[in-house]
Structure 1
Amino acid sequence: MADLRIIVVGGGIAGLVAALALRAPRREVIVLEASRMNKELGALISLQPNASKIATSLGLDSILASTGPMEDKAFRVYNPEGQKQMDIPSDFQKYGAQRIIYHRVDLHNALKEACTAPHGYGKPVQIIPSSRVLTADCEKGIVNLESGTTYQGDIIIGADGIHSNLRTSVLGQGVSAPKPTGLSAYRLLLDTADLERSKAFTSVINPREAATIMVVGHDRRIVMGPGRDGSVYGVVAIVPDEHMKEDSDMKSWTSEGDTTKLFESFAEFPEWIKDVLRASNTAPALYQLRDIDPLPNWVRGRTILIGDAAHAMLPTQGQGASQSFEDAEALQAFLRDVNKDTSEAEIKHCLREVYETRHARASLIQAYSRQQAKPGMDPATMKVKLNPVEFLDYNCKYDGAKAWRQKMNKQNVVEGVVSHTTVPLKVVEPLS
């Protein structure tokens, strides 16, 4: 009997975790990735409890065990003077899993290994780099590559990121493009040993302690913490665009920033913060923070959008990668019984089920992420007013798509949003 063919467009974290989740007997899963897959970003990334439990179910823990994953023990907020404003011990176990910090390369490599391992469930996933998909016939399941090559599948998964070409194929011309949010971010990955030479910094922070640190000052903030068993230290410095000292209108996370300009953006901050920026031996990555408004639909014919292609969001809730894991688990759950004999109508119905289960939740987390990106310091009192755990229960109390769907059906649902949530979808509004 012929295999069900699933084409995944995009070989980033969203595409690979979807491919892994959909790997099964009687299936052929092909990942088409535009890049050569030889330049994954050197940065830290978190999986929140809602995603950590999915990673465990997919068998990733054993592969990642040797890479030095770190359980986040606390979230601490400081003002620029080094005065602690909040100290929130991690209580993630109540969600059934922990918040885990990985090196992005380690997580990406683990997903590739799990997808292509010969001993895995079903046939190994085929990953084809240098395969840029430009358009798709969503009804027929045909994708068209820049090279002129075409692939046809029974199901097409659009995981091609915030600048997705598949989004136009699904929604048509005029679809909302990624929007600048008024913020840009410098990203650094430091050797912790270099950072430990700063007496000013270590008098405030122990850089090897498994804790996430956020420094909020003026209209800027720095989020930082350790990874790889404490051997590296990740730093993200967020600056409003109007205070940038260089052009941040860049599309790539790997665009190179200017270290001198970074210092100028944080000139008002004290030495213990500047020492963090000095500890880098390489130029920072610089990118403009963009997201998209909730889309009216993710599905057309045999094609569904996931990850940043469907619901790109700001990093302020740390949910970007975690929502991609949720997408993958939803695909696995609703397509579990789909095979080559499944009718086209049933395939479309299953994809619609994924969308209807995921859309309101992902859109609301987009809204939360925008809300958390607004200035975090009260200019009148110079105290931090940001509450980083305000939406934690909603984000992390998640036990899979079908359980969430059942929960939604039991509650009073108004216009697709559960009425007990604290922020309605209309909050997805510009930051300005």
Structure 2
Amino acid sequence: MTNDKLRIIIVGGGIAGLTSAIALRAANRQIIVLEQSRLNREIGALISLQPNASRIMETTWGLGAEMEEARGMVDEGLRIFDTDGSLVNEIPLLSKTEYGGSRIIYHRNDLHEALKSAATSSHRNGEPVTIRVSSRVVSCDPSEGKVILESGEVLTADVIIGADGIHSVLRKSVIEEEPAAMPTGTSAYRLMIPSEVLEEQEPQFCTKINPRDPYTSMIVGHSCRLVMGPGRRGDMYGVVAMVPDERMNEDPSLRQSWVSEGSMSKLLDTFAEFPSWLTSIFKHSPELGLWQLRDMDPLSTWHRGRVFLIGDAAHPMLPTQGQGASQSIEDAEAVGAFFEDIEQSPSMEQLERIFEKIFRSRHERVSLIQGYSRQAAKPGTVKEQKTVTMKPDEFMDYNCMYRGAKKWLQTVSPV
């Protein structure tokens, strides 16, 4: 391997891959992101970044201008309604100024485009990142630092970051006995509706829940859960409808990815017990995604040879705490922090030490958040290897007071 530049390949062009590319940009580095899709775009859905992640984006990486372009919306709190539309409880989210960031809601595609712009910008440190689309990785040799594309092309790098999601190909090269992603008994629909359409055609809904108010709204009933909120500064309204698999009118085993298309008639059948003022809004969504929620027990390691796994490839988790994307961003910050002083190709011994520091700074924290997210999905019914005993507000502090991987490694966190 040449020592001219530190060569980095990132497999996966989603949020984990792009943020790790941003974090790793520096002088004397060549970074290539390999994305299997042809367009490298996200489909329509809202996504939240928690204060622990939004602080990294703005303060650590200086992405203020890019995030402004992404039209994020600060979430001021959680409102819980009953099925009659009456407000039952309200939990503000702006009172914790010590978090150093806000919970911000983005349209997934807007966030993705902003991150791609930052990664490829000529105005940031280091060379712009190269993004190669239609570059599906089918196998990897961790010892040699090689990835093999579906086309047969072989690419070599000093460092390979596996950010290729829950169905990761690179995970197979790191873990000898790869664990399966486990169905959790819950599936979820995603809907996106223009707020203007709701205001014009669903006045009964809007009198109960204002689609432009900067709040996440939740309605639980009949063993189902609706989580709703605005995005694109109030112009779009997102709905996630979570359903026990046994209550669905679709076969969840056929829906292994959230990009699968759902059936509107079957969604309405599933929510037939809910009031019409609520379910009547569903039909206005031009897209209907359906995916079976799956997660995975913590892995024993995230690295082998020149490969390091991050994001859903390393620790897929349920959306009940809204921490999936935020933990990927924490991973990216950790990778950037521990490679900060590395300018040339590291030896295998040096790389092992770096990878192990990153792993130790992340594994315990992420595993706990994984467990809590699973526990919150089925409270009182899921047995965890490590029971989370903190109260919800204490766990919120645990999530959001994070100040980076190096500082975390120096402290013993309460569990």
State the TM-score, normalizing by the size of structure 2: 0.93
Deviations along 1:18-68, whole A, 9 cap, x unmatched? 011001001001111111135421111111000001111223220121332
Q: CA deviation at 1:389?
A: 4.8
Instruction: Summarize the alignment of residues 147-166 of structure 1 with structure 2, pairs less than 5 Å apart.
Output: 147-166=151-170
Counterpart pick for 1:70 among 45, 68, 73: 73
Counterpart pick for 1:309 among 293, 313, 324: 313
Asked if structure 1 preserves the Cα contact closer than 8 Å seen for 2:192 and 2:287, the reply is no
Q: CA deviation at 1:80?
A: 1.5
Deviations along 1:101-134, whole A, 9 cap, x unmatched? 1111111111111111112110011111111111
Q: Distance in 1 between matches of 2:41 and 2:123?
A: 27
Q: Distance in 2 between matches of 1:388 and 1:209?
A: 24
Q: Residue 50 of structure 1 corresponds to which residue in structure 2?
A: 52
Secondary structure, counterpart of 1:140 in structure 2: coil
Q: Distance in 1 between matches of 2:117 and 2:298?
A: 33
Q: Distance in 2 between matches of 1:31 and 1:270?
A: 47
Q: Residue 6 of structure 1 corresponds to which residue in structure 2?
A: 8
Secondary structure, counterpart of 1:17 in structure 2: helix
Q: Residue 366 of structure 1 corresponds to which residue in structure 2?
A: 370
Instruction: Summarize the alignment of residues 302-381 of structure 1 with structure 2, pairs less than 5 Å apart.
Output: 302-340=306-344, 342-374=346-378
The alpha-carbon distance between structure 1 residues 389 and 285, as it changes in their structure 2 partners (threshold 3 A), is farther
Q: Residue 266 of structure 1 corresponds to which residue in structure 2?
A: 271
Asked if structure 2 preserves the Cα contact closer than 8 Å seen for 1:220 and 1:375, the reply is no
Instruction: Summarize the alignment of residues 192-341 of structure 1 with structure 2, pairs less than 5 Å apart.
Output: 192-196=195-199, 197-249=201-253, 250-280=255-285, 282-340=286-344
Asked if structure 2 preserves the Cα contact closer than 8 Å seen for 1:338 and 1:347, the reply is no
Asked if structure 1 preserves the Cα contact closer than 8 Å seen for 2:13 and 2:40, the reply is no
List alignment gaps of at least 5 residues for structure 2. Answer: 381-390
Q: CA deviation at 1:222?
A: 0.5
Q: Distance in 2 between matches of 1:393 and 1:163?
A: 31
Counterpart pick for 1:135 among 134, 139, 147: 139
Q: Residue 85 of structure 2 corresponds to which residue in structure 1?
A: 82
Deviations along 1:65-86, whole A, 9 cap, x unmatched? 1332111111111222223222
Counterpart pick for 2:181 among 153, 178, 181: 178
The alpha-carbon distance between structure 1 residues 220 and 243, as it changes in their structure 2 partners (threshold 3 A), is same
Asked if structure 2 preserves the Cα contact closer than 8 Å seen for 1:372 and 1:388, the reply is no
Q: Distance in 1 between matches of 2:239 and 2:22?
A: 30
Q: Distance in 2 between matches of 1:88 and 1:124?
A: 42
Count of aligned residue pairs for this structure pair: 399
Counterpart pick for 1:28 among 24, 27, 30: 30
Q: Distance in 2 between matches of 1:22 and 1:336?
A: 8
Q: Distance in 1 between matches of 2:281 and 2:234?
A: 15
Q: Distance in 2 between matches of 1:112 and 1:66?
A: 12
User: What's the % identity of the aligned pairs?
Assistant: 54
Q: Distance in 2 between matches of 1:141 and 1:38?
A: 24
Q: Residue 41 of structure 1 corresponds to which residue in structure 2?
A: 43
Whichever residue aligns with residue 24 of structure 2, its letter is L
Q: Distance in 2 between matches of 1:102 and 1:14?
A: 16
List alignment gaps of at least 5 residues for structure 1. Answer: 377-386, 409-417, 422-432
Q: Residue 382 of structure 1 corresponds to which residue in structure 2?
A: none
The alpha-carbon distance between structure 1 residues 325 and 283, as it changes in their structure 2 partners (threshold 3 A), is closer
Determine if the alignment matches structure 1 residue 168 to structure 2 residue 155: no
Q: CA deviation at 1:136?
A: 1.1
Asked if structure 2 preserves the Cα contact closer than 8 Å seen for 1:92 and 1:99, the reply is no
Whichever residue aligns with residue 76 of structure 1, its letter is R
Q: CA deviation at 1:248?
A: 2.4
Whichever residue aligns with residue 139 of structure 1, its letter is S
Asked if structure 1 preserves the Cα contact closer than 8 Å seen for 2:69 and 2:114, the reply is no
Asked if structure 2 preserves the Cα contact closer than 8 Å seen for 1:47 and 1:99, the reply is yes
Q: CA deviation at 1:283?
A: 4.1
Q: Distance in 2 between matches of 1:103 and 1:142?
A: 35
Q: CA deviation at 1:388?
A: 6.4
State the TM-score, normalizing by the size of structure 1: 0.89
The alpha-carbon distance between structure 1 residues 198 and 134, as it changes in their structure 2 partners (threshold 3 A), is same
Q: Distance in 1 between matches of 2:37 and 2:302?
A: 24
Q: CA deviation at 1:403?
A: 1.1
Asked if structure 1 preserves the Cα contact closer than 8 Å seen for 2:21 and 2:129, the reply is yes
Q: Residue 106 of structure 1 corresponds to which residue in structure 2?
A: 110
Whichever residue aligns with residue 352 of structure 2, its letter is K
Q: Residue 401 of structure 2 corresponds to which residue in structure 1?
A: 397
The alpha-carbon distance between structure 1 residues 12 and 67, as it changes in their structure 2 partners (threshold 3 A), is closer
Asked if structure 1 preserves the Cα contact closer than 8 Å seen for 2:49 and 2:105, the reply is yes
Asked if structure 1 preserves the Cα contact closer than 8 Å seen for 2:222 and 2:273, the reply is no
Whichever residue aligns with residue 257 of structure 1, its letter is G
Q: CA deviation at 1:390?
A: 6.0
Q: Distance in 1 between matches of 2:340 and 2:41?
A: 33
